[in-house]
Structure 1
């Protein structure tokens, strides 16, 4: 109760953390185009000649105390259908640009790029991002939590990049139908970001402190419209697909299994800022395969959602809570079972209110005894003060035609599982203070008591200091069957502090210590876990980074556990384990065509054993068409009987070939010795029209020794984005 009281005091104290928006003085006037705009990468069109220019960018990195050395000029205009932007990105040094490839949604730090961040709701929290690298690869995503970008979102827009001797130019047309915005307002939040790897300079039009991303909506300037943006009109998109495929399970020597499927998604703009998504018989075979990791943790790992249907305004649902306390996790829906249909209404009701309502229906799987299930989620969010909000979430999972289970060989399920939650998200106007306070309760048949969650954190981020306090309580009976909560029955406290020095050095940009600790107790307040972690971090002006660290760990096992997650032999419940470890991490500068990164760990382990781990990633690019990466992880574990010495590898070579910015080929191999599996995934994607694709996906799974096929599959899928 004391912890809960402190959290509410923290919420009340946030009343004093708000002020006027920081960059109101930076305004770019936008007027209706005086002549047609052709998207060709040239600023000579008559329609651009009478537009205002955003120039004199500010440096963000390496330092935020001066104007940018690399010149960038930006113009914007519009007509009845599209918002237009052209960015003229001048070179400061001779030589070629740096890009990874022509692949969409590139890695920000490894590409010369220009990005637009816009807040069409003027709430400093939600928005959209569009941009390109210097070779023409597109970037688009939805913005949430005031400065994060979800690049899994994909929509219909066009752009061209043209390279000149002294500059490169990015020109884009963004249909009003592809974005959501508040009807009738004449001022949007706006900022532009430029990364030039030759000078290692990151800059923005409206100044942003170096400790924050240039995507931070707390620091946007103003896009000042001459009149309210035009209404998008009837805004209905229908996205059908047809699919054919064949698969074979060689392990059981079953005959070939053929697939002939069709389905459809639809997007209906209820208002200019509220969208209805519908889906019937969706298929997600074209989604990128998950990147495997070595799991030596006692709890389940998290893999992010990549399916398009769940992404727009997805933060309303999936960002409720913390990384390890998510009452809703959309990947629980359709996990190994078919989704028959679904609907989702999400977006802004007005400047202060956001709404999300989703309902999904899955089918019955008779061979494993799983019934049809319905998943319903409601999220409501109310903005308070300048950038904070209060949110409510309700989740209901219902098994249809439920019968109690007695066969232990079949998957277990309950007749229902429900969650309700309340959270307060703090974000001060200058973004120096952020935090969250959270309450959750679950409802499951036969469970009463110890089924709620409380957690809170408060973080201060200045140029030199980062200070964070977080605590969590998860009851032993708390149950989120449609969420991600890998651990129950604990109390956790987790302080963190770091400091940066900025020396006058030609090579070192900053350096400083980072100290973090966490302690976990059971509900009787007896300690079960502890870690103290001390690191020292060097960031170089070339953007490479070196980290050295030491750690001290204690763990008391609450259930039997195999420390190799490989042999099947387990340590007993209640045994206590202490060890010390240290390591070094390094990330090379992104400007080179050959890049590398590695992390290492050596020290004690369970049962007075030892563990060595070396993880690396090597990359080489023949820009802009071919990118080759090899990721690897090696573990050597030495333990007493019965484990002795255990070694295993995880290898993941990947080939990306981008013939154009609309034609991509990816081949990804994963050899996982821990799981005794070799996986091959290849995907050819042709974007023959904006947001319309042809996919050819081929997958293989092998036993590593002897190398023999377990199963393989081929899928061909065609989608078409049709605007009505």
Structure 2
């Protein structure tokens, strides 16, 4: 097995060296600025009429980035840059031959709609990170923190800065006033920063840039031009304090006799966020009693495979600067730090009986959190996060009115430390991470791990103008706890040490600790020419455990990967750009079992008229799984083929759409998947936009796992033929009265139902033929008194029930919506008016999705939350 993996890596390395292409000479442009003369100033009105602008020169000479890379743009662009002691000023002229057709779309912040101009600044001069300031012709702000050399743009970064635009007879103009306190830089006498100015000409869907960048380039920030002439500016230490006040009123259907559900609740919450610049480039963020009331609800989801569901982080405190703390060590969503663990739903349970009422908290309270992060002029990226969540209690009351509180989540401390150091002229870095989770446990919560620690080291080296790279990382974990806690960890679906046919792992019920490792090695070509390729090796040892403050789906895996991509970057009369990719991977477990191989093709084309098509397909001739039977033996799926096709119209138009179809078919009809996707976007006028995204999915499976039973002392793994159907729709609209005042709505109904037939038990789980893998219960072996009732199994047909199977049919319904009025009455300070609705429950699995949608969502009384939140940001 390992010999095969090494051969694959050697092949990729040789392929990389064979197809290395010559570097092209890159000319770095420079803009030399000058300070505003004493006694003069710039008024931010978008007109550029102040005499202070006369002291600096116009620069233009833009070239097209997309689609006709390197050509002259359809419309010219010019800019000036000046500064004073506290601010950087940027003035821009976007010339337009038909000013009446400039697209002025109002929208919420960071939507980047219509015509816009963008200024990117690499004040660290590290060629990997930068600050982006964007304004549309309608005056709507956008701002993002750029990391990973342009691979990641974080729009949650919301600095305080000032801008205004104006349309005149020559086109449109913009002025920007950017406080030095919002940028991070060193204390040199003369600053030299990376600079890029980027324009979107909406009518022609043309992107033009000041510093030319080839579409073959390996990144974005590393290709910037230079901003010079910033002399004797002093770094500004940031000090911002933002208190907030939240009034919340909850109204919901009352439950007779339930003292915790009387129909209404009222909450008043006060908290504080602060941002303190300890140095000019390192910031301390603090939050006390944080509020996340206006955050979008998580989308509906249901998982029948038993694995946890990954949800994106949406809370501003954890999103900002998340690139520094990120440590994605393998593939998928596996990460050493997953901030959704902080403030998670309580993991404990009460001793309440069926006749008692329970009031359980939905999330753990974050008592406080502090985050120290930033990047120094010497190339050190530093991050330290500390957070404490409080004890959480569930209240229980019996019918006589006796009430008690039971602990369901302990006092917990979370710590994350991250460091990276650039070297080799910023072309390489080496870094490390450390995390710690410590819980103050009591006897009733001794099934939780008392402590969890992880450490990791990562490295990346790029050469030949960053066109080629080698990267690797290593992760180790160590957990401690009671014998019960460590036994539950060994038996969890992430590990499954109890697997009956596993010779390399076994459950040790006396253990009080566990340690494991994981990591990745990858080499590839990221830029230059029309070809990209990579190959690598990923591993997760059986005892690796990250889920206290990280995310790990499955341990005990070794994975080999390889891919090659062909880019078509030069536009033709048929397309603007296109690409094709072939990829392959294989997986093994640590016992040496060869579990999976997959070959995949993907293609994308953006046509001349800005319509597009995306398609792909894969063949899986070998699919074995260690987890399907939840601790049972290794399972074989029938061979699978899948494909998908998506196409869409020009998204600049007032009406645009995307249609998609996904189809997966396994041999012998073992399982299949059909998914239909429809996305619509409609903007009838500049201030209003509406989007609808709907998905319908049918996912039948003849061997969906149901449960495990015992028959005459022998385990019986029960599966069944499931007919699963799922429907969801996400609806969003935005109405902007002006760039700082908008009304936004988000709503999502979600429903999934599954009905089972042909229950069976596993006979030979790795048989090639499906009929040999499972054995159907005959009519003499299985019976049920009525629809929805448990199944009674008389396997040996002796008239005595051998075991009982709970009816697995289900129908899950969820609806979440938010209606938000947001007013940024001064930069950085906001008022939110929020109306949220929600309902979660079960429906009749024997009804159609449409009927359940009508009865359980549209016809159901919903929980309502009315919330007013006010913030004021003091900049000191």
Give the alignment's TM-score, normalised by structure 1: 0.90
After superposition, where does 1:69-80 map in structure 2 within 5 Å? 69-80=74-85
Per mean C-alpha deviation after superposition, the further-off stretch among 625-634 and 157-166 is 157-166
Matched, 1:324 2:392: no
After superposition, where does 1:17-56 map in structure 2 within 5 Å? 25-34=28-37, 35-56=40-61
Match for residue 88 of structure 1?
93
CA distance in 2, matches of 1:274, 1:639: 53
Partner deviation per Cα, 1:587-619 (whole Å, 9 max, x = no partner) = 321221111112211231596233211112100
Deviation at 1:581? 2.0
Matched, 1:701 2:853: no
Matched, 1:414 2:449: yes
Say if 2:476 and 2:515, in contact at 8 Å, map to a contact too. no
Say if 1:23 and 1:221, in contact at 8 Å, map to a contact too. no
Match for residue 522 of structure 2?
457
Matched, 1:469 2:535: yes
Paired residue secondary structure (2:638): strand
Relative distance call for 1:636 and 1:320 in structure 2 (3 A) is closer
Deviation at 1:200? 2.2
Matched, 1:479 2:542: no
CA distance in 1, matches of 2:470, 2:750: 38
Per mean C-alpha deviation after superposition, the further-off stretch among 311-320 and 265-274 is 311-320
Paired residue secondary structure (2:203): coil
Per mean C-alpha deviation after superposition, the further-off stretch among 177-186 and 192-201 is 177-186
Say if 2:68 and 2:570, in contact at 8 Å, map to a contact too. no
Match for residue 354 of structure 1?
381
**RMSD of aligned Cα (Å):** 3.0
Matched, 1:441 2:519: no
Relative distance call for 1:537 and 1:295 in structure 2 (3 A) is farther
Match for residue 813 of structure 2?
676
After superposition, where does 1:224-235 map in structure 2 within 5 Å? 224-232=228-236, 235=238
Deviation at 1:207? 0.9
CA distance in 2, matches of 1:518, 1:329: 26
Match for residue 565 of structure 1?
none
Say if 1:649 and 1:672, in contact at 8 Å, map to a contact too. yes
Paired residue secondary structure (2:340): helix
Matched, 1:714 2:719: no
Say if 2:664 and 2:674, in contact at 8 Å, map to a contact too. yes
Match for residue 559 of structure 2?
492
Match for residue 137 of structure 1?
140
Give the alignment's TM-score, normalised by structure 2: 0.75
Unaligned runs of 5+ in 2: 345-362, 395-406, 481-510, 704-719, 753-811, 842-852
Say if 1:474 and 1:490, in contact at 8 Å, map to a contact too. yes
Say if 2:63 and 2:209, in contact at 8 Å, map to a contact too. yes
Deviation at 1:385? 1.0
Per mean C-alpha deviation after superposition, the further-off stretch among 691-700 and 282-291 is 282-291
CA distance in 2, matches of 1:28, 1:473: 47
Matched, 1:399 2:426: no
Partner deviation per Cα, 1:59-80 (whole Å, 9 max, x = no partner) = 1111323232321111111112
CA distance in 1, matches of 2:381, 2:457: 15
Deviation at 1:174? 1.0
Match for residue 460 of structure 2?
425
Matched, 1:628 2:690: yes
Say if 1:101 and 1:623, in contact at 8 Å, map to a contact too. no
Say if 2:368 and 2:389, in contact at 8 Å, map to a contact too. yes
Partner deviation per Cα, 1:345-377 (whole Å, 9 max, x = no partner) = 111243222211111111111225210100111
After superposition, where does 1:125-164 map in structure 2 within 5 Å? 125-147=128-150, 148-164=152-168
Partner deviation per Cα, 1:376-408 (whole Å, 9 max, x = no partner) = 1111111121232111100001102454646xx
Paired residue secondary structure (2:35): coil
Q: Which has the higher contact order (CA 8 A, sep 6+)?
A: 1
Match for residue 209 of structure 2?
204
- Aligned mate of 2:638, from 577, 592, 599: 577
Match for residue 187 of structure 2?
183
Say if 1:320 and 1:393, in contact at 8 Å, map to a contact too. no
Structure number with greater Rg is: 2
CA distance in 1, matches of 2:175, 2:305: 47
Match for residue 266 of structure 2?
258
Relative distance call for 1:640 and 1:559 in structure 2 (3 A) is same
Say if 2:119 and 2:133, in contact at 8 Å, map to a contact too. yes
- Aligned mate of 2:656, from 567, 572, 595: 595
Unaligned runs of 5+ in 1: 407-411, 563-569
Deviation at 1:545? 1.8
Say if 1:21 and 1:218, in contact at 8 Å, map to a contact too. no
Relative distance call for 1:638 and 1:374 in structure 2 (3 A) is closer
CA distance in 2, matches of 1:216, 1:714: 43
CA distance in 1, matches of 2:575, 2:130: 35
Per mean C-alpha deviation after superposition, the further-off stretch among 414-423 and 553-562 is 553-562
CA distance in 2, matches of 1:576, 1:616: 30
CA distance in 2, matches of 1:118, 1:428: 24
Match for residue 566 of structure 1?
none
Say if 1:402 and 1:415, in contact at 8 Å, map to a contact too. no
CA distance in 2, matches of 1:643, 1:381: 51
Paired residue secondary structure (2:52): helix
After superposition, where does 1:645-656 map in structure 2 within 5 Å? 645-656=723-734
Say if 1:442 and 1:452, in contact at 8 Å, map to a contact too. yes
Equivalent pairs counted in the alignment come to 703
